[in-house]
Amino acid sequence: MRSYRLPSGGSIPALGLGTWRMGENARTAEAELAALRAGLEGGCRLIDTAEMYGEGGAETLVGRAIAGRRDEVFVVSKVYPHNASRKGTVAACERSLKRLGTDRIDLYLLHWRGTVPLAETFEALAGLRAAGKIVDFGVSNFDVADMETSATLASGAVATNQVLYAASRRGPDYDLLPWLQARGIPMMAYSPLDQGSLLVDAKFRRIAASAAITPAQLAIAWTLSRDGVVSIPKTGRAERIGELLAAGAITLSPETLAAVDATFPPPRRKVPLEMT
C-alpha cells in the first residue's frame, strides 16, 4: 500500500478506516470496536476520527481499538470550528488525546471553516505541533479559495484537505484536486462509498461485476486510482473489513475507469464543494 509524504517528513497511508457515525449508540459499540480491531489485524494503519463523531464517542472507540498498539497506527482527528480559537483548539486537542488514550495525534484537522479567524486557528495548531501534541495539521471541507487563504498564512503548513469525494461526487476533480496535486498536498476522500449509494447503483454494480470485484472495492479502488488521494471508507461490521482493505491491492483497468467516467462524468464546470 502506497503512502504520501507530509510536511513533517512522515507519511500517511493511502487507505484507512473512517469512524463517522460511530460511537453514537451503546448497542452497536462492541460491533464497531470489533470492526476497528479487525482492520488493525488486517493491516490497516490509518484511522480517521473527530471530536464531532458521537460527541467524542468515536474517539473513545478508537482509543480502545489502538490500546497496546499505538505506534502501529496513524491517527487523524479533527477540531470543531466553534472550538477552534487559540485556547479552544488546545483544550479540544487535550480532550481528544485523553479519549484516544495517546500523547499525540498524527494529523489534526480543522473540521470545516467557521467564524474564528483562520490565522488564529493555525497559530494554535502550530503551537500544538511545537509542543509535540500533534505531528502535522490540516483542514477539512476547504474549497480552493479557502486553500489559497491557508497558503498565505505563515503558520499554515497544511498537510492535507479532507473532503467528500467519490465516483458519484466528483466536484473536486474540476479544480480542487488539481490545486492540491500541484502542491503535493494529499486529499483525503471521506465517504468514498457515497454513504452506501454506490453499493446499490445498478450501473455501478455492473461495472464492478465486469471487473470481478465488489461495488465497495470498485468505489475504493477508484478513489485510490487518483493521484494524491487517500481513501477512508467506513464500516461498523468486522466481516466487511477484508473486502474493503483488499481494494488497496486492486489496479483498475483503463476499460473499467472509462466505464466509471461514462456513468459518472467528471465535472465540466465549477461545482460547489459538498458536505454531508
Question: Cα–Cα–Cα angle for 187, 189, 194, nearest 5°?
Answer: 155
Dist. CA 155–CA 5, nearest whole Å: 19
Question: What residue has cell string 479559495?
Answer: 145
b/e per residue 166-189 (b: at least 16 CB within 10 A): bbbbbbbebbbbebbeeeebbbbb
Annotation says 4 is catalytic: no
Of 4, 53, 108, 165, catalytic: 53
| Segments of the chain assigned E as strands | 3-5, 11-13, 46-48, 74-79, 105-110, 134-140, 161-164, 187-190, 229-232
Dist. CA 20–CA 191, nearest whole Å: 9
Residues with catalytic roles: 53
